[in-house]
Amino acid sequence: MSAVPARLRPLQDRFAAVAHDALAPRAPQIDQDALWPAENFAALADAGLMGLHMPKRLGGLEEGLSGLVVATEALAQACASTALCYGMHCVASAVIAAKATREHEERYLEPIARGRHISTLALSESGHGSHVYLADTELRRDGADFIVHGEKQFVTNGGHADSYIVSTKASESNEQGEFSCVLVDRTSPGVSWLDPWRGMGLRGNSSRSMRLDRARVPRSNLLGNEGDEVWYFFHVVTPYFLLAMAGIYNGIAQAALTHAIAHVRGRTFSHSGQALSRADLVQDKVAALWARVQQARLFAYHAAELGDTNDPEALTAMLACKVSAGDTAVQVAGEALSLCGGMGYRDNGAQARFLRDAHAAPIMSPTSALLRLWAGRLLLGVPVI
């Protein structure tokens, strides 16, 4: 019996098929050589899965948070780097769609729905670190254009995505807020890329620093109104990002457990003839890990459903389910590696990859520390920021 809600099983099957056929065979090389997964994106486009959140009238699948958590979980079981790249594309596409103009629909949303455009988020800056809703990047009006000047760090899909959602200071002080969001195309004059990504884990995600040297973009690339960035961050980026990441870390945990169970079932000692699967302690451990993974998955599906139905508890549940998924991935990947013994540790193989990938969970912002703070503040009726 699958833990996935019945309505979402056909969608899960579509992602699982791409994960099995396209992602799984390439995952070791993507990890080893830190390759951005171009062929995997092509396979997702061929399967009609790039417009997950795009409206049906534009050719998309019109799925919400529940579809996203199921999608990234299925992909991450095969290749977490690809799942992260795809998840960030989905978050970015939901941001563009939230207050899209007709021009945004034609230039961005329709191509996304057709699988011909990849987008991503460029929010993080070294000065503000994990407080990713803050920005020093400047936005200045110049006739029909904006001039964007600053530097972004850790841009997943960096250099490969066609468009980047860039957070900036607002171009002029206004009552709405201090920060704005603009779309910057990869081809915009003034955009360049710094060192290639060489991460400990999630090595295929091309999370690079982006220089915006007085980059020029049309004024029509503003998302929403000036000062809307914090609205976008908490109303769109946060829910979509949290559920995308919860799916990824639950997928990593599930993959690590599946791999460990296969190892245990195939291991027999020659001196005693005993199968490792017959050891009481191993049986106890496998059951505990299985329960932990199931709990994290069910929590994520529940939080996504609350988010899709605008339940008052949705934000608290989404914050907490991402922490739960991340903690679960780190614990399960570590214990699954132990279950595989030296065979799991050698060659920097699949179990080592799961462990390295899982360790991004508490690091990537909003970090687990910040998520717990925010959830606690919500529960206590204290302002979140």
Ligand X SMILES: Cc1cc2nc3c(=O)[nH]c(=O)nc-3n(C[C@H](O)[C@H](O)[C@H](O)COP(=O)(O)OP(=O)(O)OC[C@H]3O[C@@H](n4cnc5c(N)ncnc54)[C@H](O)[C@@H]3O)c2cc1C
Residues that bind ligand X (CB under 6 A): 88, 120-124, 129-130, 132, 154-156, 199, 202, 205, 207, 360, 363-365, 367, 369-370
Question: Helix 65-76 and helix 9-18: axis angle, to 10°?
Answer: 30
First to last CA, the chain: 41
Cβ neighbours of 73 (radius 10 Å): 32
Nearest-approach distance from CB 88 to ligand X, in angstroms? 5
Nearest-approach distance from CB 369 to ligand X, in angstroms? 4
Question: Helix 238-265 and helix 350-358: axis angle, to 10°?
Answer: 150
Residue 133 or 301 with smaller CB distance to ligand X: 133
Residue 123 or 230 with smaller CB distance to ligand X: 123
Residue 260 or 361 with smaller CB distance to ligand X: 361
Nearest-approach distance from CB 120 to ligand X, in angstroms? 6
Interacting residues of 280 by C-beta distance below 8 A, sequence separation 6+: none
Nearest-approach distance from CB 354 to ligand X, in angstroms? 15
Q: Which residue is nearest to ligand X (CB)?
A: 129
Nearest-approach distance from CB 106 to ligand X, in angstroms? 25
What is the spatial distance between Cα 73 and Cα 69, in angstroms, rounded to a whole number?
6
What is the spatial distance between Cα 167 and Cα 232, in angstroms, rounded to a whole number?
10
Residue 197 or 301 with smaller CB distance to ligand X: 197
**Residue among 311, 251, 218 at smallest CA distance from 87:** 251
| Residue the block writes with tokens 């207050």 | 99
Q: Cα–Cα–Cα angle for 209, 169, 370, nearest 5°?
A: 65
Residue 23 or 202 with smaller CB distance to ligand X: 202
Nearest-approach distance from CB 134 to ligand X, in angstroms? 10
Residue 131 or 216 with smaller CB distance to ligand X: 131
Q: HEC states along 259-317?
A: HHHHHHHCCECCCCCCEHHHCHHHHHHHHHHHHHHHHHHHHHHHHHHHHHCCCCCHHHH
Label residues 285-308 b or e (16+ Cβ within 10 Å = b).
bbeebeebbeebbebbbbbbbbbb
Residue 340 or 360 with smaller CB distance to ligand X: 360
Question: Helix 9-18 and helix 38-46: axis angle, to 10°?
Answer: 140
Nearest-approach distance from CB 234 to ligand X, in angstroms? 15
Residue 126 or 348 with smaller CB distance to ligand X: 126
Order of all β-strands in the sheet with 179-185 = 119-122, 163-169, 179-185
Nearest-approach distance from CB 122 to ligand X, in angstroms? 6
**Residue among 202, 200, 191 at smallest CA distance from 152:** 191
Nearest-approach distance from CB 182 to ligand X, in angstroms? 14
Residue 298 or 363 with smaller CB distance to ligand X: 363
